[in-house]
Amino acid sequence: QQKVQQSPESLIVPEGGMASLNCTFSDRNSQYFWWYRQHSGEGPKALMSIFSNGDKKEGRFTAHLNKASLHVSLHIKDSQPSDSALYFCAAINNYAQGLTFGLGTRVSVFP
Amino acid sequence: AQTIHQWPVAEIKAVGSPLSLGCTIKGKSSPNLYWYWQATGGTLQQLFYSITVGQVESVVQLNLSASRPKDDQFILSTEKLLLSHSGFYLCAWSLLGGRYAEQFFGPGTRLTVL
């Protein structure tokens, strides 16, 4: 059974600053990792995926994966108030049950 | 394009009353379907998943049941609501073996039990 742990629980970031979110997973055979973002009152939406060791950059967002240390992270550069949301990392549990989600990190960006 | 609908958008119900929440996916055949529960601002707790019509697997026991009467429909229900059932209910779909297991969530149903 895949277990996913996230830190920190919450993060306050000034507008224009960098937000860094961390995640560890338990299954060494995991291959696919996702970051989801959920704004208040909405369903979560996939933000980005990462499947290979190293960095993946999409605009202001960079994900980093290190399978050896069972660690994945997300960095948000030049944070905007619209980035204020709940962020989940996710790793596959099995192909029937789908993704296992972490407990989430609440990011608040203040102007 | 595929769409996912959930109904109702919100419900206010009394303790002990029955509940039925629905989810429909259009534009995809034979998706995997999931029900999640989320306390306000909390984590996503998977409740049920289904990989085919008529087959539903329970992940946690919360005095809820689920059914998949059609390929594109997933129903969550209970005969007797508890206060602890309050929260945000999310339906999601994915394709078995499809694009790296990405799951797509619906807009959710906000349930308040009084």
Contact yes or no for A96 and B101 at CB 8 A: no
CA–CA separation, B28 and B24 (whole Å): 10
- Per-residue pLDDT averaged across A89-109, rounded? 88
Chain B positions touching chain A (beta carbons under 8 Å)? 32, 34, 41-44, 46, 49, 51, 57, 59, 90, 92, 94, 96-97, 100-108, 110
Residue B41 pLDDT grade (very low, low, confident, very high; cuts 50, 70, 90): confident
Question: What pLDDT, on the 0 to 100 scale, is given for residue B62?
Answer: 86
Q: Which residue of A has its CA nearest to B99?
A: A32
Average pLDDT, rounded, for chain A = 93
Contact yes or no for A96 and B104 at CB 8 A: no
Exposed (0-12), middle (13-18) or buried (19+): which is A53, by Cβ within 10 Å? exposed
Question: What pLDDT, on the 0 to 100 scale, is given for residue B49?
Answer: 94
Nearest CA to B21 out of B78, B77, B68 is that of B77
Q: How many CB pairs under 8 A join A and B?
A: 64
Reported as a single tens digit per residue, the pLDDT across B51-65 is 999 999 999 978 999
Residue B90 pLDDT grade (very low, low, confident, very high; cuts 50, 70, 90): very high
DSSP state at residue B79: S
Reported as a single tens digit per residue, the pLDDT across B97-112 is 655 678 999 999 999 9
Reported as a single tens digit per residue, the pLDDT across A55-82 is 999 999 999 999 999 999 999 999 999 9
Q: Name the strands in the sheet holding A71-76, side by side, starting at the edge strand that comes first in the sequence.
A: A4-7, A19-25, A71-76, A61-66, A54-58
Is A16 in the B-facing interface, judged by CB distances under 8 Å?
A: no
